[in-house]
Amino acid sequence: MSAGIVGTAGVVVLCTAEGMVQEVLHDSIGLAPQVGRPFTQIAEPESLAKLEAFQQALVEQGAVLGWEINVAIDGVTVCLGLNGAVTSTGILLMGSAVPLGLYDEVTRLNNMLANLQRKMAKQNVAMDRLNALKDQFVGMAAHALQTPNGAISVLAEALLEELDPTLSEVHREYLETIRSSAEYVRVLAGIYLDAAAIGAGAMRFTFAPTDLADLVSRSVKLHRTVSARLHDSAALTIEGSGPPLLLDKGKIEEALHNLLDNADKHSPAGALVEIDLAFGEESVRLRVTDHGQGMSPEERAGLFQPYQVTGASKDKTGVGLGLSIVRRIVEGHGGNVRLEETPGGGATFVVTLPLRVAPV
């Protein structure tokens, strides 16, 4: 079909209510619809569903204007601008050829977009499956750690109690280190179990009366034991006091571990790490401050997302789960966590929890 007939050539067909061609009134584009056959025969395969929808709309509305259908004429794809009306003698269909340049480009782009969407959907399914497998593996590994680590902890405790009178200071220190290390591994196993629970959307909390000041003190002491960096440079300050609070003790312990571990990884040797716990009238606030190199704006944007490893910690062990777990735990207690700039460099993580006093 020459470019000269585009916009002037057309076809007019009278069809039955079922869409069968009963008379070709005009055909100047060589479309050649056949009497006694469905009008849908003119459509290319990808336009067949659209032409059937056009006919359905025509039956329901009585008149339809401005639909565009791809048809093939002598092996060439032609865009047909199609209008229709229901008359007393049947369905009158009128089509005219329209320019293909812009239409073809839009069609091409739409097809490309559809292909990309299908590809992305497949990749998302594969990613969801990999994430599920990853969470399952993390949970299995954490469970596997608990049994041998529990045995180590119990045996160290038994040796400390039974051999107490005969232990030298060096041997006592060794056993204390074993016990502290086992406690540290217990907390780590809990963190990875929580990571798996977060991935499965199943993190659960068990609230009980908890002495938060004592919990923070013991967590800092534990980190001083297992971390050479924090042994002499972790400064704890507790302002005020409060009654036992309704907390999930194990989860809060994990959050504290992650914050202290994060400060440890970001602090140069000898730099002070400050832990401040303050009780207010309606809330309790915990601040953990390091004086490391700080974080870039890009790192801050994804700071509380899983598997985000930032700053100096990129050169150390870790998979970037800690801060995402902190946020979920804190929010599970009705609180919030935020990052503040530290004067002179570094970072301060501020955790605020509501002061939910445990009933007597």
Ordered DSSP codes for 153-182: HHHHHHHHHHSGGG--HHHHHHHHHHHHHH
- Under CATH, to which class is 7-99 assigned? alpha beta
**Residue range(s) of every CATH 3.30.450.20 domain in the chain:** 7-99
SS3 354: strand
Ordered alpha helix ranges (H), 30-81? 48-61
Could you tell me the pLDDT band of residue 12, with boundaries at 50, 70 and 90?
very high
Residue for token pair 């601008």 = 81
Indicate the pTM of the whole model. Answer: 0.50
As a whole number of Å, the CA-based R_g of the chain is 36
Residue 309 corresponds to which tokens in the numbers above? Answer: 């490893």
Percent pLDDT > 70 in the chain is 79
Residue type, 286: L
Kindly state the average pLDDT of the residues 46-56.
88
Buried residues in 43-77 as b, exposed as e (16+ CB within 10 A): beeebeeebeebbeebeeeeebeebebbbebeeee
Could you tell me the pLDDT band of residue 318, with boundaries at 50, 70 and 90?
very low
pLDDT at 173: 82
CA distance 70 to 73: 10
CA distances for 251 relative to 190, 293, 326, angstroms: 8, 28, 9
pLDDT at 4: 41
Query: Is the pLDDT reported for residue 213 higher than 60?
Result: yes
The whole-chain average pLDDT of the chain stands at 79
CA distance 181 to 152: 9
Residue 191 corresponds to which tokens in the numbers above? Answer: 């963190």
Query: Is the pLDDT reported for residue 95 higher than 80?
Result: yes
Could you tell me the pLDDT band of residue 136, with boundaries at 50, 70 and 90?
low
Could you tell me the pLDDT band of residue 315, with boundaries at 50, 70 and 90?
very low
Kindly state the average pLDDT of the residues 4-30.
80
pLDDT at 353: 93
Could you tell me the pLDDT band of residue 319, with boundaries at 50, 70 and 90?
very low
Return the ∠ at Cα 215 (arms to 210 and 217), rounded to 5°.
Answer: 150
- Quick: pLDDT tens for 231-250: 667 788 888 888 899 999 98
**Residue range(s) of every CATH 3.30.565.10 domain in the chain:** 205-360
- The phi, psi pair for 204, rounded to 5°, reads -120, 150
- Quick: pLDDT tens for 139-198: 666 666 766 776 777 777 788 778 878 888 888 888 878 877 877 777 777 766 666 665
- Quick: pLDDT tens for 247-264: 999 889 888 988 988 888
Could you tell me the pLDDT band of residue 7, with boundaries at 50, 70 and 90?
very low
- Under CATH, to which class is 205-360 assigned? alpha beta
